[in-house]
Amino acid sequence: MRFLNGHDKSQSAILGRILITIALFGSLCLQFSAYQDWESAGKEYPDGHGGSVYFPAGDISFADEVVSFEKGNPSAGDNDSQPEETLGIPDYDRATADNYTTLGCGGILTLKFSDNVLVDIEGPDLYVFEIGPAIEPTNLAISKDGLEWVEIGEISGGRAEIDISSFVEPGETFHYVRLTDLKTECGSAWPGADIDAVGAIGSAIRISLKSSVLFDFDKSVLKPEATEELHQAALKIKEFSNVRIIIEGHTDNFGTDAYNLDLSRRRAAAVKDYFVSQEGMEESGIESSGFGESRPIASNDTEESRAKNRRVEIIILPKENN
């Protein structure tokens, strides 16, 4: 009996619109047009201690969504316990002592990269901007889907550069970061670590396309209407120079592992073939692979979450990260 990767039906036309993480293509055009190549995007940011940190992908590198925040006990005052202050670029102001969040003793902060992903590159991959007169350590964990976590372990405060290479497989991408205060400074007015920002030095740009807008149910041949979506994706990719492209196929968990793996590989290969044959991209600069159901970005408990997992992802990396 053949098992099918299910529910890629026409009813998901709305869900099937192409996404670049949390936004549609149109709303990100200005952001992408500013980055003609990775070298021009790169910036240095103040670390809050008189130094700076260089991020090759610039402003897009930083966590931009709060998933959850559990204040520690004791905690700081309400004005110092606003998790949104950790989002975006580091902007701690020494003069006014604001634009950061105090975790509290044992507090837990979970953030998400929405318009990029964390990847392993040579050297440090992640940087936690921890400020304040006392530099408290935290425990770091990263996740692909916010459900299963890779424990990186204790990181020091201040210039907290983290190399994730010994904890992950080559090519893996991560969307979530979790910081847990280790209760070393619980007696001050600002108990727990003080977090200004969290950035991915190893940062890749992710374009995610719903499988239902590209393929019919259980098929790996592109639908006619898929070409416009892929053309728009190609236009965004071509705004960059000196990059390599990774195309990944993913499914939900409906069906056998072997069948889903094969389907995901065929779908990724079909997207690559379109880019090469129809958009004139160099085949040598594009990799395609399939992961079946092994890399979900949501639980597979509901049709909505399964629809999120049925996708083709296009990851844009600078060639020097190869």
pLDDT tens, position by position, 272-281? 999 999 999 9
Is residue 163 classed as helix, strand or coil in its secondary structure?
A: coil
Band (pLDDT 50/70/90 cuts) for residue 114 is confident
pLDDT for 179-190, tens place per residue? 999 998 888 888
> What's the topology of domain 10-36+205-321?
60s Ribosomal Protein L30; Chain: A; (3.30.1330)
The CATH architecture of the domain made up of 58-201 is: Sandwich (2.60)
- Residue-level length of the chain: 322
Asked whether residue 25 carries a pLDDT value surpassing 60, the answer given is: no
The CATH 2.60.120.260 domain(s) of the chain lie at 58-201
Asked whether residue 11 carries a pLDDT value surpassing 50, the answer given is: no
Kindly write down the DSSP assignment for every residue of 236-300, as one continuous string: HHHT-BSEEEEEEEE--SSS-HHHHHHHHHHHHHHHHHHHHHHH---GGGEEEEE-TTSS-SS-S
Residue 243 carries which side chain, given as an amino acid letter?
A: V
Q: What is the mean pLDDT of residues 26-52?
A: 59
Asked whether residue 304 carries a pLDDT value surpassing 60, the answer given is: yes
pLDDT at 36: 44
The CATH 3.30.1330.60 domain(s) of the chain lie at 10-36+205-321
Band (pLDDT 50/70/90 cuts) for residue 210 is very high
